[in-house]
């Protein structure tokens, strides 16, 4: 079955530091890949996505590239801010060779990011 | 911006009691989902719902669980006889159907209901 593995957290950084959160996946077919973010007291929000190999998703200074050869979708940001403190979830949605998308999302365990001033 | 809402934000119940968790999906969305997250564990898929029927469910979604769209706006998850291990955060999500078919669009999540079973 499909699975997603994220780096263990929590991650604590100083403001303006470089961020990497690793995510690797196991899936049959050609999944779509996502990063969701959960701010305190709020629901999961889509941060970025990529639907095919070598696609780069980007949003709010965050980037992730769909690497099929390494089955990875690592999240990066060049300079984090205090407001980026949140829980980050990597997820995939499966798709078969015929392109049919299966609706359910499979999530990683989440990585807590804390950014200090 | 439209959003998914969930009520209540926190539900405390006794083991063996029935609970109903409520969600109001985004109004023009046609696919609905429930996920749960036990404290410290992954967010897990429970069920997806389209056209008034379940389209997919996980092994977690046993006979104790049911979903319903009782009217044009609400989407509910019922747990008939709660167990201690049902304590978790429950997330509702919805997505819009594309013309090409299939739930390919972004899933928008609600803020969750924290269920505590004593």
pLDDT tens digits for A36-89? Answer: 999 987 888 999 999 889 999 999 999 999 999 999 999 999 999 999 999 999
Number of neighbouring beta carbons within 10 Å of residue A26: 13
Instruction: Identify the residue among A52, A104, A109 best suited for mutation to test binding to B, counting B beta carbons within 10 A and taking the highest.
Output: A104
Q: For the residues B41-65, what does the mean pLDDT come to?
A: 92
Question: Chain A residues with CB inside 8 Å of B48's CB?
Answer: 103-104
Q: Cα separation of B7 and A69, whole Å?
A: 43
In whole numbers, what is the pLDDT of chain B averaged over residues? Answer: 90
Q: Cα separation of A114 and A99, whole Å?
A: 38
Residue B103 reports pLDDT greater than 70: no
| Residue that wins the pLDDT comparison between A50 and A94 | A50
From the list B1, B12, B7, B11, the residue with the least C-alpha distance to B24 is: B7
Cβ–Cβ contact A46 with B under 8 A? yes
| CB neighbour list of residue A1: distance below 8 Å, 6 or more residues apart | none
pLDDT band at A7 (very low <50, low <70, confident <90, very high): confident
The conformation of residue A28, written as its DSSP 8-state character, comes to: S
Task: Say yes or no for a CB contact (<8 Å) between B111 and A101.
Answer: no
Q: Cα separation of A62 and A69, whole Å?
A: 22
Task: Say yes or no for a CB contact (<8 Å) between A101 and B31.
Answer: no
């Amino acid at each position: 079955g499909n699975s997603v593995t994220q780096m263990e957290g929590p991650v604590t950084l100083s403001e303006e530091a470089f961020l990497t959160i690793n995510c690797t996946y196991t899936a049959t077919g050609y999944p779509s890949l996502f990063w969701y973010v959960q701010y305190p007291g709020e629901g999961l929000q889509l941060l970025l996505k990529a639907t095919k190999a070598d696609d780069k998703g980007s949003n709010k200074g965050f980037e992730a590239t769909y690497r099929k050869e390494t089955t990875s979708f690592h999240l990066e940001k060049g300079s984090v801010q205090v407001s980026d403190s949140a829980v980050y979830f990597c997820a995939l949605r499966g798709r078969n060779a015929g392109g049919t998308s299966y609706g359910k999302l499979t999530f990683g365990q989440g990585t807590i990011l804390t950014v200090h001033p | 911006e439209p959003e998914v809402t969930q009520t209540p934000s926190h539900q405390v119940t006794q083991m063996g009691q029935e609970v109903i968790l409520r969600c109001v999906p985004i109004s023009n969305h046609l696919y609905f989902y429930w996920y749960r997250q036990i404290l410290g564990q992954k967010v897990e898929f429970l069920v997806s719902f389209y056209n008034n029927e379940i389209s997919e469910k996980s092994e977690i979604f046993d006979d104790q669980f049911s979903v319903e769209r009782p009217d044009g706006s609400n989407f509910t998850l019922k747990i008939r006889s709660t167990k201690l291990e049902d304590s978790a955060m429950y997330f509702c999500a919805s997505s819009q159907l594309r013309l090409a078919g299939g739930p390919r669009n972004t899933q928008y999540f609600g803020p969750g209901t924290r269920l505590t079973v004593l």
